[in-house]
Structure 1
Amino acid sequence: MNETVKLLKNHRSVREFDPAKDVTEEQVKAMIESAIAAPNWVNGQQVSIIEVRDQEKKAKLAEAAGKQRWIEEGPVFFIFCLDFYRAKVAAEKNGKTLQIVDDIEAIIIGSTDVGIALSNTINAAESMGLGIVPIGGIRRNPQVFIDTLELPEYVFPISGLVVGHPRDIPEQKPRLPLAATFHKEQYNAEIQGAVIDQYDEKISTYMKERTNGKSSANWSSRTAGFYDTGFEHYQKNVTPALRKQGFRYQ
């Protein structure tokens, strides 16, 4: 197994950062260059990344993201945005209409490109010994991010990423077995129930150990709960903010 594969398989999210160690501009440049080098749809390069270090601004964004203290505690906070503003400029330059923003395809394209760029950034950070934690919670209150970061039309915040030097590295969280997530030739729906039962037991044991017995929640209960009522902030706030940014898909 080569070093790149070892790095990828060893990932874990870090939420405890060493306040005495900063992330250098050289490290930031390496991460961002890695992100921008990622493949993207039709070379449209539909991603923009905003670096935030200002402590007051990080505190405001941490509150909006669901009181996630590690946003404040980590030295660098990146916000990854899907970006069709440059495509708008290109359209105007060439006398074309930016019809893509009226279709759900724009959100799929932009979010996919953000995910690929985010992955490259994570891999670059971890290769330098840095710790990271992605922040999907920025979409709990996306308008706060849009206003604070002064995002123009056709730009929308998809995910954040806290980067810093780890103070504590947690045990790696077990993933679903490949039998559930990797299929050959066709999707295997019949196996999912049994695999989830086994995985629930594994996650419950992991949670007991990680929380010193305070929680034994399993995967299916947490996932089911979130997708039932736990995503209400996203349900309430994301679509209106997207509309306000110019995305008018039906």
Structure 2
Amino acid sequence: MNKTIEILQTRRSHRDFDENHRLSKEELQAILDAARQAPSWMNGQFYSIIVIQDEKIREQLVKWNPGNAHMMKGSVFLLFVGDLYRTKMVSSAHESSYSIDESIEPIILATTDAALALENAVIAAESLGLGSVVVGSIRKHGKEISQLLDLPEKTFPLFGLSIGKPIVEMKVKPRLPEPAVIHYDKYQPYAYTLIEQYNQTMEAFGEARETKRWSQKFSDYFAAKPQMITDQLLRMRGLLK
């Protein structure tokens, strides 16, 4: 097995970091360069990355997300932003219309591009002997974060990435059984027993932060009334009607 495949297959989320560890400029630049080389639809690169090193800003982010103290304790925190402001500038320069609020497609493009850049950053960090964890809960405070970081219109915070030197060894988390995820040529039906099997696998894995069975967690999540926080933010940012 080559080193890249090994890193991909053994990646784990880390939330406990050495607070005294600092990334070198070269390491940070290598991670950012790797992120920017991610695949992008039509080479549109519909995202921006905010490198947050300022302690006061990171403290504020933790106040809004108290369950994610690693945003302060890691060596650096990267915020990935869906960015359709850049192409608005392009449209203005070409004196063409910019009706991106009429379809969800531009939002999907920006989200996908940002997610691909994020994954490149994750793997680059792992290759340097560092650890990371993705933070999706920042969307709950997208309005406040947009104001705090002076994000222009047509942009929206998507997710963050805490990077640092791990101080707690984490186990590789089991994934769903392959037949429930991988299909060849056509979508292949599978028995619900595969989900039950995964429930048992995760219970045996015994992750302390999980308080519910895997299936119950997502049954509850999708049964709850949507908060519509992201929808409201996208309308506010001029991205949805």
The Cα of 1:67 is off from its aligned counterpart by 3.4
- Residues 153-164 of structure 1: matches in 2 within 5 Å? 153-164=153-164
Give me the TM-score of the superposition, normalised by structure 1: 0.91
The answer to whether structure 1 residue 240 and structure 2 residue 232 are counterparts is: yes
Give me the TM-score of the superposition, normalised by structure 2: 0.95
Partner of 2:142: 142
Partner of 2:221: 226
Corresponding residue SS for 1:14: coil
Corresponding residue SS for 1:120: helix
Corresponding residue SS for 1:156: strand
- Residues 165-176 of structure 1: matches in 2 within 5 Å? 165-176=165-176
Partner of 1:201: 200
Q: Distance in 2 between matches of 1:58 and 1:126?
A: 22
Higher mean C-alpha displacement, 38-47 vs 82-91: 38-47
What per-residue deviation string (whole Å, max 9, x for no partner) do you get for residues 78-98 of structure 1? 000110111011001111111
Corresponding residue SS for 2:228: helix
Partner of 1:15: 15
Q: Distance in 2 between matches of 1:35 and 1:112?
A: 13
What per-residue deviation string (whole Å, max 9, x for no partner) do you get for residues 47-99 of structure 1? 10001112221121122235311111112110001101110110011111112
Instruction: Determine if contact 1:101/1:154 at 8 Å carries over to the other structure.
Output: no
Q: Distance in 2 between matches of 1:69 and 1:215?
A: 18
Instruction: Determine if contact 1:35/1:118 at 8 Å carries over to the other structure.
Output: yes
Instruction: Determine if contact 1:203/1:217 at 8 Å carries over to the other structure.
Output: no
Instruction: Determine if contact 1:141/1:238 at 8 Å carries over to the other structure.
Output: no
Percent identity (aligned): 33
Instruction: Determine if contact 1:76/1:163 at 8 Å carries over to the other structure.
Output: yes
Corresponding residue SS for 2:39: coil
Give the letter for the 1:122 counterpart: V
- Residues 179-198 of structure 1: matches in 2 within 5 Å? 179-189=179-189, 191-198=190-197
The Cα of 1:221 is off from its aligned counterpart by 1.1
Number of equivalenced pairs = 241
- Residues 19-168 of structure 1: matches in 2 within 5 Å? 19-65=19-65, 67-168=67-168
Unmatched runs of 5 consecutive residues or more in structure 2 = none
Higher helix share: 1
The answer to whether structure 1 residue 217 and structure 2 residue 212 are counterparts is: yes
Q: Distance in 2 between matches of 1:81 and 1:127?
A: 24
The Cα of 1:147 is off from its aligned counterpart by 0.8
Note closer, same or farther for the CA distance 1:26–1:215 as it changes in structure 2 (3 Å cut).
Answer: closer
The Cα of 1:227 is off from its aligned counterpart by 2.4
Unmatched runs of 5 consecutive residues or more in structure 1 = none
Q: Distance in 2 between matches of 1:85 and 1:110?
A: 11
Give the letter for the 2:133 counterpart: V
Instruction: Determine if contact 1:64/1:144 at 8 Å carries over to the other structure.
Output: no
Give the letter for the 1:203 counterpart: M
Corresponding residue SS for 1:140: helix
Higher mean C-alpha displacement, 56-65 vs 6-15: 56-65
Q: Distance in 2 between matches of 1:215 and 1:239?
A: 28
